[in-house]
Structure 1
Amino acid sequence: MLDESEYERDDDAAPIDMLESYYAAHGWSHTREDDEVVARVKGSWTEYELRAIWREDDGVLQFLAFPDVRVADERRSDIYETIALVNEQLWVGHFELWSSSGILLYRHAAMIPGEDGGSITLQHTELLVESAIDECERFYPVFQFVLWGGKTPREAIAAALIETQGEA
């Protein structure tokens, strides 16, 4: 968790402002344009692009995490099946494959209503960002097992989600 004293912020802030402050406090490379902020984060498996788009009129914050996975046309049917099996494991958000580009992503939308245009807390921001990264980290090996390891979607899920006991 981020120490709240590490950066300046209001208790509540506009979603994109809070996300930008959160990224800056972590020292993550990021860019900001109007109602969108994009950050790059190094994970255990790959670098993730985190993209947030605020739709003030609708009170919706669209949060996307791109785990740097592109799927060739001939592998899409296997990945669609994998996505369906992975999404059964999720409580919040979902994975999808953009049909036009073959890019795999994690997507979550947060409803943030408010008469003042909507605001978000540090705790909500942290949950949004960290849960997206955690799900990408958790399921990245599943997609790699299917794309590069020659496993079926069911084999990949079984192999990647083994619960380990103890420490080595």
Structure 2
Amino acid sequence: MMLDQHDQEQDDAAPIDMLEAYYGAHGWEYERHDDEIVATVKGSWASYELRSLWREDDSVLQFLAFPDIKVTEDRRAAVYETLGLVNEQLWIGHFELWSASGILLYRHAAMIDGGDDGTMSLGAAELLVESAIEECERFYPVFQFVLWGGKSPKDAIAAALIETQGEA
């Protein structure tokens, strides 16, 4: 959901403050704890937990999106192959699998160069959040085809990323 020009004229703010304002403007549920904010957004495939952590010392905003996919031990080899093929198609961010828990996630680290004040623009916040959600939505079916559909990673990508024309 793109914000209109009036909304984008808002001043820059600290990254977590800006994300809090962005989530609030969309009416999304969120919790804020110091330099961390967690929001929940419903996509067309699943609800996504969006977690952001601000490291002021490094001027880095770590942004994580969890598409509610847990990978069992017996499916990890296929998912690792899928991750390699999926990540080749991403311009920013990447998907990864946490080995200890089997949780699949999208991760992107953003360097925030706001000079001495370390601020983030509304446009940057919007791009960070919306691109993460779009990538999760785009590749969610790929992971499901591999995990539950028994497809090979290459077949899953081919089946899930077919470009359709028109509407049904």
TM-score range, shorter chain: over 0.9
Q: 1:58 to 1:109 in 2, by over 3 A?
A: same
- Distance (whole Å) between structure 2 residues aligned to residue 167 and residue 39 of structure 1: 31
| Root-mean-square deviation (Å) | 1.6
TM-score normalised by the chain length of structure 2: 0.95
**Could you tell me how far 1:2 is from its partner in structure 2?**
2.1
Report 1:1-80 matches (<5 A): 1-3=2-4, 10-80=10-80
The TM-score, its normalising length taken from structure 1, stands at: 0.95
- 1: distance between equivalents of 2:117 and 2:76? 39
Q: Structure 1 counterpart of 2:153, which letter?
A: P
Which residue does 2:148 correspond to in 1?
Answer: 148
Match of 2:104 in 1: 104
113-122 vs 77-86, which deviates more? 113-122
Distance (Å, rounded) in 1 between the aligned partners of 2:131 and 2:10: 22
Q: Extract structure 1 runs of 4+ deviating beyond 4 A.
A: 4-7
Aligned 8 A contact 1:54 1:62 in 2: yes
Moved more, 10-19 or 132-141: 10-19
Native 8 Å contact 1:6 1:25 kept in 2: no
- Superposed, which structure 2 residues align to 1:125-136 within 5 Å? 125-136=125-136
User: 1:24 is matched by which residue type in structure 2?
Assistant: G
Q: 2:15·2:61 contact (CA, 8 Å) conserved in 1?
A: yes
> What's the secondary structure of 1:108's corresponding residue?
strand
Gaps of 5+ in 1: none
1:55 CA displacement = 0.4
Q: Could you tell me how far apart the structure 1 residues matched to 2:46 and 2:3 are?
A: 22
Residue identity in the other structure for 2:113: P
Contact 1:56 1:117 in 2 (8 A): no
Contact 2:114 2:120 in 1 (8 A): no
Equivalent residue of 2:23, what SS? helix
